[in-house]
Chain A
Amino acid sequence: AQKVTQAQTEISVVEKEDVTLDCVYETRDTTYYLFWYKQPPSGELVFLIRRNSFDEQNEISGRYSWNFQKSTSSFNFTITASQVVDSAVYFCALMSTSGGYNKLIFGAGTRLAVHP
């Protein structure tokens, strides 16, 4: 079965704090992709990153960084020096070949509130 778990429902931080959003996934496939999306209050999903299962290198993009660990089936997302504009719901997602059409399975999302 394919599953994505984001255990943190809501996180509240003060501006400039670092924050890590957890994501744990389940799949039997050896080839799969992991994603993070941001959904601001406007509702439109903003693509942040895609990582394939064969690439375990951590990635950094500005204040954003991702830690992919296959051993623990986790793909955590860290925002460094958070800003108010980072306030949004963040979704982790998994895409694999099981079930046909390579469907994107979303986690429940983590609502991040960054306060000034």
Chain B
Amino acid sequence: GAVVSQHPSRVICKSGTSVKIECRSLDFQATTMFWYRQFPKKSLMLMATSNEGSKATYEQGVEKDKFLINHASLTLSTLTVTSAHPEDSSFYICSAREGTGLTYEQYFGPGTRLTVT
């Protein structure tokens, strides 16, 4: 299957700083990318959906000014956690799809574990 990478795999940052997580589709062009958040022992919660070149669509309850998503190219999306706080500590997973239709496969990255101290 297709490969989606995330960088970094693990990051520790201090409270109040911002951290950027990159998601890349390595062997296909991803018109749509998704960002999920997973708390320990919980399910994946969709944060936002982005199409290349347009603004992300955020799920209810997700602060768009806190979690900045940029999908500037067909192979790269970034999630920036601004002014991070300890409650932002979580496992962030990105996912990418070639198209918007149901028939397109959705591929997941390996995840980024963020710890805010």
Binding site for B on A (CB under 8 A): 31-33, 37, 42-45, 47, 50, 52, 91, 95-97, 100-109, 111
A101–B101 CB distance below 8 A: no
A102–B100 CB distance below 8 A: yes
Which of A42, A102, A106 is the one whose CB lies under 8 Å from B44? A106
B46–A104 CB distance below 8 A: yes
23 contacts between A and B (CB under 8 A): A37-B108, A42-B110, A44-B110, A45-B93, A47-B1, A47-B107, A47-B108, A52-B102, A95-B106, A96-B102, A97-B102, A101-B57, A101-B100, A102-B100, A103-B34, A103-B46, A105-B46, A106-B43, A106-B44, A108-B42, A108-B43, A109-B42, A109-B43
- What is the predominant secondary structure among interface residues of chain B facing chain A? strand
Interface string of B86-117 (1 = CB under 8 A from A): 00000101010000111001111011010000
> B50 CB to closest chain A CB, in angstroms?
9
Which of B91, B100, B102, B110 is the one whose CB lies under 8 Å from A31? B102
Please judge, given known A-B contacts A104-B46, A106-B43, A108-B43, whether A44 and B102 are in contact too, CB under 8 Å.
no
> A81 CB to closest chain B CB, in angstroms?
26
A103–B102 CB distance below 8 A: no
Bound-complex Cα distance A20 to B44 (A): 22
Q: Which of B34, B41, B91, B105 has the most C-beta atoms of chain A within 10 angstroms of its own C-beta? A: B41
Report chain A residues within 8 Å CB of B43. Answer: 91, 106-109
Contact-size category for B = 20 to 34
Binding site for A on B (CB under 8 A): 1, 32, 34, 41-44, 46, 49, 51, 57, 91, 93, 95, 100-102, 105-108, 110-111, 113
Bound-complex Cα distance A97 to B102 (A): 7
> B66 CB to closest chain A CB, in angstroms?
21
Report chain B residues within 8 Å CB of A108. Answer: 42-43
Report chain B residues within 8 Å CB of A96. Answer: 102
A32–B102 CB distance below 8 A: yes
> A33 CB to closest chain B CB, in angstroms?
6
> B112 CB to closest chain A CB, in angstroms?
9
